[in-house]
Amino acid sequence: MPHTRRTALAGACLAFGVVLSGCTATGPAPDPTATRTSAPLAPLSTLTPPADARSITGPSTAFLADAAIPRLEGDWPQRLPVRAISHDLGGEHEIEITAAERIVAMDLSGSIAATLAGLGLEDRLVGRDVSTTFAGTEDLPLVTVGGHTVSSEAIIALRPDLVITDGSIGPRDVVEQLRDAGITVLFVDVDPSFDGVAALARQVGAAVGMPEAGEALAEQLTASIDAKIAEIARLAPSADPLRMVFLYLRGSAGVYYLFGDDTGADALIEALGGIDAAAEAGIVGNRPVTDEALIGAAPDLVLVMTSGLESVGGVDGLLETQPAIALTPAGERRRFVDMDDGVVLGFGPRTPDVLDALARAVYAPEA
């Protein structure tokens, strides 16, 4: 099917006419505060959450225990050339990929580069987008400017033989024009969901001539995600689930909106054992925040991106600029959980770890 779905952030930027630089997911280099690599964390199954999850007060930050991308083990064959389906502006097109030694992978969440790393091909990356922040990418040159605007000159200078993207950053016609410079460009079909994690692994694996590795990574990630969701179910209150919303914030651009169905936020909230109050209200995609929507959603907990929360002056600043939030159960208890922008909605090999970190911040922040 043609690629018609975009990641939540791309839709948000386009919907409000905000320049892409206003939707920067992270800074230009990996953020060391996004992870904590001290003593090994106790398994989720050993944690004892409070009897009433609503008794937890105050904000929490979800940290990944390890910045590294979980890597598929074993030696996997690579066979090129291959034929692959590219989801271009004009629809689906079959293209030939003859080489995959020098790769630029770019999208709004950094998921494609992370998937390549999951396949053990991080050494093939010759450039990175601003959202690619996992360990080992610090010294790669940026191919985006001002946030998520693609620099064709920067890409061409790196002499890649393959560019893999999903169309979520652009301008898209500029990306397609890279072909005029003799670069093979593949548009993959990305869905911000747990099924989309596996689908992306298969697409990327096939594109680089390693379909068996792509399938193995897809199966491994699916099993890990399912196991993590089962662990979380033990922590989450089944009788009276927490009501949650995901807010996207950019104070410098005056951007405040709710993420609903088909944004990836809905999948995270469901996996956390919560009720997506925005989706429950019929919000599909993203929608500007209104007092009525916030008060009607009555969230017990609000999920946000770390830089977004910082951009509005933290919890105090958010409650001041959006006083309706203060009238919700989450606002009354200051129950906000933030996570690094380039991680939280980056559906890829780190998704099981993202779920683990969020579950700890939601149900057992003291642990």
Amino acid at 71: R
> Cα–Cα distances in Å, from 112 out to 13, 180, 270, 334, 356?
20, 23, 24, 35, 21
Q: In the prediction, which pLDDT does 88 show?
A: 86
Q: In the prediction, which pLDDT does 10 show?
A: 53
- Look up residue 350 and give its DSSP letter: T
197-202-203-209 Cα dihedral, nearest 10 degrees: 150
Residues of the chain with pLDDT under 70: 1-39
Q: In the prediction, which pLDDT does 22 show?
A: 42
Q: In the prediction, which pLDDT does 322 show?
A: 94
Q: In the prediction, which pLDDT does 128 show?
A: 96
Q: In the prediction, which pLDDT does 290 show?
A: 95
CB neighbours of residue 106 within 10 Å: 27
Q: In the prediction, which pLDDT does 34 show?
A: 54
Backbone φ and ψ of 209, nearest 5°: 80, 25
Q: In the prediction, which pLDDT does 232 show?
A: 96
Q: In the prediction, which pLDDT does 38 show?
A: 53
pTM of the complete model beyond 0.85: yes
Burial (Cβ within 10 Å: 0-12, 13-18, ≥19) of residue 282? exposed
Q: In the prediction, which pLDDT does 312 show?
A: 97
Q: Give the domains, in start order, of the chain with CATH numbers.
A: 8-68+232-363 (3.40.50.1980), 82-219 (3.40.50.1980)
Beta strands in 98-214 (DSSP E): 103-106, 125-128, 144-145, 149-150, 162-165, 184-187
